[in-house]
Amino acid sequence: MNACPLWRRIKSTSSPDPPSRISITVAASRTLTASSIALLLASASLRRRLALNRRAATSYTTVRRTGHRPHLLPRRPTMKFLTLPSLTKRNLRTLAHFSGASLLMLALSTSPASAQDFEYRVNNRVQVGQGQPSLTLRSPAVLSDAELTFKRSDGHTTTRRLGSLERGEVKEVVIEQPPGTFDYTVTLRAKDIDGEPVEFELTFDVAYTEALKVEVDTEEVELGQGRLPIRVNRPVEKVEIEFFDANNRPLGTHTSQHRGARGDIELRFEVPEGDLAALRVAVHDTEGFWESFILEPFWVEIPHQSVVFDSGEHTWQESELPKLTETLERVQQAMRAHRDKGLQMQLYIAGYTDTVGNASSNQELSERRARAIGRWFSAQGLDIPVFYQGFGESVLAKPTPDETAEEANRRAIYILGNGAPPTSSELPRSRWQRVR
């Protein structure tokens, strides 16, 4: 019987999603006859060894370290703990009398006579400025002359010498790489207590990325209309939104998939029924990191005295100025009262007319009057964004026939909030324009 070359490879492969897979390839050094195999398998001691070896040879645990809130964790693990058996040449020579199938099963044995459990952990999802990628090893036995060789997918290769390791000793090796995602093949070589070589190989990828940043332009937010524009600096996988009422009770959820989109992203969702008081938004990137923030819709209508405009114009007499001054003071009082909310407040002015004149001219007139009030507020030092919209004669406070002069219908509404107010019977459209 001629001996064939003896070789083996123990390889770990990992993907972004669990479970990780362990693939082991072992070749037999000899070939047995059918009668020899039958004789060996008839051995009671061998059957007991094979039965023991059917136990799982690998295990892993995942620990999440990304994001900011544990209850919003993505499903993608960032750290993997794996147990790999490593074989010495002496072990392989001892097993050279068995077939390839038998050799594989015995190689998975946890018996010290044939294999050692080598544990490792990979921290392979790290944001720049929040630590470094790393590989942590726990030695199963006394080893000497240990070294790690890292081969990166761009061809870069480095060797890190670990030296002597005691049984149970833990070594953490920082993986130095530029920002980006790379695949690694890592080979550990060492000698056991008898001076026999020990070697195993594992593969994994490392994503070392810039920190995920999400920006919200509150001037463009229209929560009442289910519109939330955001700007993201990294590819986005999905966005999760949770809705809550004033008592922090959930009103529903919404999830949107974005398939790696980045930059300006407009989120659209159906506004849930109920008293919407807050939204929790979690943005997940394609590497498993996420950023969350809370939006609290806030609107308060400002009580005021109606300004009497010049007939058919968007101007007023000086006698109307005290009304405007009083309204401005009430806006500023409301801002101070809600300052502790940390909101970026905005003022929304809606203008209305009576039915004198045609609908088109009244629509234009209501817009000009609302804009004129907004400009006056800004000129007086109101330092928040001001938006206006006209509704003409389409929303009458007091129903009248056409061509009816009615002071109650010549009015304006002032709403202070941190976003455009939702549409309603008073505000049937949402076409707000910023006062310039």
The pLDDT-based confidence of 423 (bands split at 50, 70, 90) is confident
B/e letters for 407-416, b = 16+ CB within 10 Å, e = fewer, are eebbbbbbbb
Residues 282 and 315 in one domain: no
pLDDT digits (tens, 9 = 90+) for 211-270: 999 998 877 888 878 899 999 999 999 999 999 887 788 999 999 999 999 999 999 999
At residue 117, the pLDDT reads 65
pLDDT (tens digit per residue) in 303-328 = 999 898 888 889 999 999 999 999 99
CA 281 from centroid of its chain's CA atoms: 10
Q: What's the burial of 193, exposed, middle or buried (CB within 10 Å: 0-12/13-18/19+)?
A: exposed
List the single range of 138-152, 161-175, 263-277, 357-371 with lowest mean pLDDT. 263-277
Write the CB contacts of 322 (distance below 8 Å, at least 6 apart in sequence): none
Distance of alpha carbon 143 from alpha carbon 169, whole angstroms: 10
| Residue 74 φ then ψ, to 5° | -70, 165
| Range among 170-179, 342-351, 423-432 rated most confident | 170-179
Question: Are 184 and 176 within 8 A, CB to CB?
Answer: no
pLDDT digits (tens, 9 = 90+) for 168-196: 999 999 999 999 999 999 999 999 999 99
Report the pLDDT averaged over residues 32-52.
39
Cα–Cα distance for residue pair 159/138, rounded to 1 Å? 18
Owning domain of residue 307: 300-434
Last residue of a domain, one of 279, 296, 313: 296
Q: In terms of pLDDT, which residue wins out, 320 or 37?
A: 320
| CATH code at position 396 | 3.30.1330.60
| Range in 102-111, 142-151, 205-214, 419-428 with the lowest mean pLDDT | 102-111
Most confident of 10-19, 160-169, 306-315: 160-169
Q: Which of 13-17, 47-51, 340-344, 370-374 has the lowest mean pLDDT?
A: 13-17
Could you give the CA distance from residue 419 to residue 227 in angstroms, rounded to a whole number?
Answer: 10
Using the 3D structure, point to which of 261, 278, 296 is the last residue of a domain. 296
Confidence of residue 27 (pLDDT cuts 50, 70, 90): very low
What CATH number does residue 260 fall under? 2.60.40.10
Same structural domain, 189 and 237: no
- The DSSP annotation for 277-313 comes to EEEEEEEEETTS-EEEEEE---EEEPP-PPP-BPTTS
Q: Is 162 found in the same domain as 64?
A: yes
Q: Note the pLDDT of residue 28.
A: 31
Gap between the Cα atoms of 426 and 161, Å rounded: 74
pLDDT value, residue 65: 29
Asked whether residue 410 falls in the same domain as residue 342, the answer is yes
The string of DSSP codes covering 113-156 is TT-EEEEEEEE-EEETTS---EEEEE-SS-EEEEEEEEEETTS-
Instruction: Name, in order, each residue with C-beta under 8 angstroms of 357's C-beta and a sequence gap of 6 or more.
Output: 312, 365, 403
What is the distance between the alpha carbons of residues 51 and 32, in angstroms, rounded to a whole number? 21
> CA-CA distance, 157 to 159, in Å (whole number)?
7
Q: Measure the CA–CA gap between 43 and 199, rounded to whole angstroms.
A: 31
Total structural domains within the chain: 3
The mean-pLDDT minimum among 1-15, 81-95, 131-145, 358-372 falls in: 1-15
In angstroms, the Cα distances linking 261 to 238, 256, 321 are 9, 12, 50
26/14 Cα distance (integer angstroms): 20
Are 427 and 379 in a shared domain?
A: yes
Give the SS3 label for residue 213.
coil
31 and 169 assigned to the same domain = yes
Structure confidence at residue 100 as a pLDDT band (50, 70, 90):
very low
The answer to whether the beta carbons of residues 18 and 210 sit under 8 Å apart is: no
Last residue of a domain, which of 209, 224, 245?
A: 209
> Given its phi and psi angles, is residue 180 left (phi above 0), alpha (psi -120 to 50 degrees) or beta?
left
Helix 359-379, helix 321-337: angle, nearest 10: 70
What is the value of pTM for the model shown? 0.51
Check: CB of residue 377 under 8 Å from CB of residue 347: yes
**Are 291 and 363 part of one and the same domain?**
no
Q: Is residue 409 part of a domain?
A: yes
Same domain (yes/no): 354, 416: yes
Backbone angles phi, psi at 408, to 5 degrees: -60, -25
The verdict on 147 and 235 lying in the same domain is: no
- Is position 3 within any domain? no
- Does residue 161 have a pLDDT over 90? yes
